Structure 1
C-alpha cells in the first residue's frame, strides 16, 4: 500500500484514491520453480505476458537471472539484486494512471545449469 500511495501521489491523486481502489482487493501468491534445462534456447520458463493486476512483486530466490522485460521490441534480462524485489506494473495500474505507468510485458527464461525459484504476489 505504501508503494501505491506514492504512485498515487506522483499522479496528483487524492491520498485515499489508491486505497479505495486496492485496499479491499484480492491478493494471490505464486511460487514458480524452473529446473535446469540442458537446451534453454528451446524452452520457455513462462511465456510472454503482462499481469492483469495493479502491481506484481517478485522475489527471485538465489538471485538467479530469469526475468526478461520487453523494451523497444527487445527482450532485456533483469539482473537480480541481493535482497531486492522486482516490481512489475500491471494492466490495472496502466489504466488507473492513464498510461503514465505502462504495464510491462515480461517472461521467464530457464538456465542450462542452475535452477531458479521465484515467489510472486499479485
Structure 2
C-alpha cells in the first residue's frame, strides 16, 4: 500500500522470478579497524530483509549522496527496497 502498487501488478511482475538468499556473518573482531565487511552497493532484487544482530552498528544508507548510519533496533528487521522495485515505481509513475 505504501508503494501505491496494486497487488495484482506485483504478482504479475514476480510470477516467474527466482528467489535468492545470501547470508553474511561477521564475528566480533578485537580490531574493528581491520574489518572489511561488504562494499558499498545497491540491492538488485526487489526486497532485502536485514537483521543487525547484537545491536552492532555498520549498516548505512545513501541519501542525497551522503552515507547515513542506521542505528540498530533490538529485535527488528530492516527492509530495503531494491533496484527492481525502484524501477517498477519509476515505470508506474511515468506511465
Q: TM-score, normalised by structure 1?
A: 0.62
Where does structure 1 differ by over 6 angstroms across 4 or more consecutive aligned residues? none
* Pairing partner for 1:67 from 35, 55, 59: 59
TM-score (norm 2): 0.77
Secondary structure of residue in 2 paired with 1:97: helix
Structure 2 unaligned segments of length 5 or more: list them: none
Residue correspondences, number: 91
In structure 2, what is the equivalent of residue 27 of structure 1? Answer: 19
- CA RMSD after TM alignment: 2.3
CA distance in 2, matches of 1:96, 1:34: 33
Mark the runs of 5 or more structure 1 residues left unpaired by the alignment.
1-5, 101-122
Using CA pairs under 8 Å that are at least 6 residues apart, name the structure with larger relative contact order, 1 or 2. Answer: 1
Q: Counterpart of 2:88?
A: 96
Pick the structure with more helix per residue: 2
Instruction: Point out the structure with the larger strand share.
Output: 1
